[in-house]
Amino acid sequence: MEVIQVNNLVKYYKTKKKVVKAVDDISFSILKGERFGFLGPNGAGKTTTIRAILGLLRGVKGEITILGEKINPNKDTVYRNHIGYIPGELGLEPEFNAIQICKYLSELYDISFNLDEIKNIAERLKLDVNRQIQELSKGNKQKVGILTALMGDFDILILDEPTAGLDPLIQSEFFEIIKERQEKTRCTVFICSHLLSEVEKFCNRVAIIRNGKIVEISKISELKEKGLKSFQLEFTSNAGLMEFVQYLESQFPSASVKSQSVNRIEFLITPEKKRNLLHDISEMQWAGEYIKDFNINNSSLEDIFMKYYEIENPEEER
């Protein structure tokens, strides 16, 4: 069953100086229980897409369906009791503490919340729930945002850069918490994050958006299958390595070398080339000796996606 459907979504922002096409006719759908990563460089249109899904924008073109019903942007809170949401930028009541914020939102959106769960998550994230929002650092404010998104038993979690400003230990604890939650409730998770290694572990499907358009959408396993292969080879001598480097340059000029030391090399090649190379590696000798050791891996999501992040000044491109 499709939990979120976005069809031909378009959103322009008009300011005095110029018109920005933030989202340029995108369509995708997310199935129940999916862990969907929505990736892309800053300014790509992720937050705009999310705000449209939540009915928080005006002047949106296209069609959005949530839990089988078309949303009406003018009744934006209708689904909020089904959706846990961490906004990219928090607008929180400065004098409330974390628990008061949760109570306030639960009344506003008719969400039943579980105080023990909130306290437990706060403890894991190392957040003091008795302190006023205005006293908290950026990272600790972000933790309050996380609490509000996890306070109820939501069908959908929409997480816009949930770990921004958190230290590395808390970042991984956060991913542990949502992984446990998702496994327990089978909720649908839609997450934007630049932590590609965590996204790779957590998500089962990802889309990448760039300049307001979706340029790739695929299961992580498929992406990795068709992505570049990473070879790590070890030679018994530097002479062997040097001979191999010459061979690689002449036979596989498209290979990209990631690192090289006295007797080791790591490089990426396309999957079609893998078989020929494997044959030669095992059969041939290098400076008179067979290869000492080798390792082949699928390249990481980071390697696969880095090319999409290489945009200079995305805000100025349009």
> Which residues of this chain interact with ligand ADP, rule CB under 6 A?
13, 15, 20, 22, 40, 42-48, 315
> Closest CB to ligand ADP among 116 and 315?
315
First-to-last C-alpha distance (Å) of the chain: 36
Hey, what are 237's tokens? 């001598």
Nearer to Mg ion, 42 or 134 (CB): 42
Nearest approach in angstroms of CB 107 to ligand ADP is: 28
What is the closest distance, in whole angstroms, from the C-beta atom of residue 45 to Mg ion in the complex?
Answer: 8
Q: Does 163 bind Mg ion (CB under 5 A)?
A: no
Partners of 286 in the β-ladder: 289
Smaller CB separation from ligand ADP, 45 or 145? 45
State which H helix or E strand residue 200 sits in: helix 196-202
Q: How far is the C-alpha of 111 from the C-alpha of 109, rounded, in Å?
A: 6
Residue nearest to Mg ion (CB): 47
Contact (CB, 8 A) for 294 and 286: no
Please report how close the Cβ of residue 118 comes to ligand ADP at its closest, in angstroms. 27
Give bridge partners of residue 21 from the DSSP assignment: 12
Q: Which is nearer to Mg ion, 50 or 233 (by Cβ)?
A: 50
Binding site partner of 10, from Mg ion, ligand ADP, none, Cβ cut-off 5-8 A by kind: none
To Mg ion, the closest distance from the beta carbon of 115 in angstroms equals 31
Q: How far is CA 123 from the centre of its chain?
A: 25
Write the DSSP string, 242-257: HHHHHHHHHH-TT-EE
* 24: β partners: 10
Pick what 15 binds: ligand ADP, Mg ion, none; C-beta below 5 to 8 Å, kind-dependent: ligand ADP
Query: For residues 40 and 227, which CB has a smaller minimum distance to Mg ion in the complex?
Result: 40
For Mg ion, the binding residue among 33, 41, 62, 88 (CB under 5 A) is 88
From 94, 89, 91, 92, select the one nearest 132 (Cα to Cα).
94
| 47 binding Mg ion? (CB under 5 A) | yes
Give me the least distance between CB of 16 and Mg ion, in Å please: 22
Question: DSSP of 50-75, one letter per residue?
Answer: HHHHTT--SSEEEEEEETTEE--TTS
Q: What is the 3-class SS of 126-159, one letter each residue?
A: CCCCCCEHHHCCHHHHHHHHHHHHHCCCCCEEEE
* Residue 315 binding: pick among ligand ADP, Mg ion, none (C-beta 5-8 Å cut-off by kind): ligand ADP
> Which listed option, ligand ADP, Mg ion, none, makes contact with residue 282 (CB within 5 to 8 Å by class)?
none
Which three-class secondary structure state does DSSP give residue 290? coil
Query: Cα separation of 203 and 206, whole Å?
Result: 7
**Smallest separation, CB 26 to ligand ADP (Å):** 11
Site mask for Mg ion (CB under 5 A), range 238-277, x = bound: ----------------------------------------
The label of the residue with tokens 């999310």 reads 50
Partner that binds at residue 112, options Mg ion, ligand ADP, none, CB closer than 5 to 8 Å by kind: none
Residue ranges that bind Mg ion, judged by CB under 5 A = 46-47, 88
